[in-house]
Amino acid sequence: KRASANIGRRYANQPGTSARLHLALARAFYGRADFDKARTEFATSEALFAQANETESEDATLGRLALVHMN
């Protein structure tokens, strides 16, 4: 959970990298059945993919599919 807060500061000028890191955290929380935290991380990831103009990237698409599967 601490890592999530640090991503924004450490990668402030790299939204694509930040998005992928939040996506990795979302998947980890999903795997641990912490669905509320996973949803938060999926949403953060999606917003950052949009900021990076990468909403159609493979990673962004796989993140959306994982969220749908979780829900």
Q: How far is CA 37 from the centre of its chain?
A: 11
pLDDT tens string for the chain (71 positions)?
A: 778 889 988 998 999 999 999 999 999 999 999 999 999 999 999 999 999 999 999 999 999 999 999 99
Token representation of residue 42: 């999926």
Question: d(Cα 50, Cα 47) in Å, to the nearest integer?
Answer: 5
| pTM, 2 dp | 0.92
Look at residues 68, 70, 27, 71 and name the one whose alpha carbon lies nearest to residue 45. Answer: 27
14 is written with which tokens?
Answer: 């790299």
